């Protein structure tokens, strides 16, 4: 059970541990450095409890392209101290903002996978991005951003506007 892929020409003390992750869409297993995979709390806990496995670890709730995005994020934050990542404001550092903007069209799938894999800092980042994106917007603008159809027909929307005349929001 303790066998994992190990990268070649290194001393035993400097051995690079790699684990195999198998996304749900059946692409080839991805070899990932343990230091990066350990940023995903679910994998860290599993390996600490069970030990390293010879076979690929299946990730039934994560598609390959989303896993690659999350691995990029984990690589970008590989040396971060999790205790420093507590989110108290809606401000983002430039590196994180650029990262999430690059992947905005997949943000929903990223959030679901980050939740499944327990990458709390990525969940927080995506949540902050969405909060910043919807702040000050009308319901109509937010529906357009999230590609959500209105639940109200024209008559219901007029009735809501009449009952809530104090708001300038369009339904």
Q: Are 97 and 104 in contact (CB under 8 A)?
A: no
Residue range 60-80: average pLDDT? 94
Domain annotation for the chain: domains and CATH numbers: 5-135 (3.30.710.10)
Stated pTM of the model: 0.77
Which is it for the CA torsion 96, 98, 102, 105, positive or negative?
positive
What percent of the chain shows pLDDT beyond 90?
49
Q: What does the pLDDT look like over 30-44, one tens digit per residue?
A: 999 999 999 999 999
Q: How far is CA 149 from CA 139, 142, 153, in A?
A: 11, 11, 10
Provide the phi-psi class of 59: left if phi over 0, else alpha when psi is between -120 and 50, else beta. Answer: beta
Q: What are the pLDDT digits (tens) for 103-160?
A: 999 999 999 999 999 999 999 999 999 999 899 988 888 888 888 888 888 888 788 8
Q: What is d(CA 12, CA 83) in angstroms, rounded to the nearest whole number?
A: 30
């Amino acid at each position: 059970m303790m066998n994992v892929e190990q990268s070649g020409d290194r001393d035993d003390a400097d051995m690079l541990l790699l684990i195999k992750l198998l996304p749900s869409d059946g692409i080839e297993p991805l070899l990932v450095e343990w230091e990066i995979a350990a940023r995903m709390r679910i994998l860290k806990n599993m390996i600490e409890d069970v030990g390293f496995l010879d076979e690929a670890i299946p990730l039934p709730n994560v598609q390959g392209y989303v896993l690659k995005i999350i691995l990029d994020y984990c690589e970008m934050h590989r040396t971060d101290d999790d205790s420093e990542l507590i989110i108290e404001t809606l401000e983002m550092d430039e590196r994180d903002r650029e990262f999430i903007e690059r992947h905005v069209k997949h943000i929903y799938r990223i959030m679901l996978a980050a939740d499944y894999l327990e990458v709390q800092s990525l969940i927080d980042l995506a949540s902050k991005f969405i909060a910043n994106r919807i702040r000050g917007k009308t319901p109509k603008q937010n529906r357009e951003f999230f590609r959500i159809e209105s639940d109200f027909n024209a008559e219901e929307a007029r009735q809501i506007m009449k009952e809530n005349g104090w708001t300038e929001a369009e339904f």
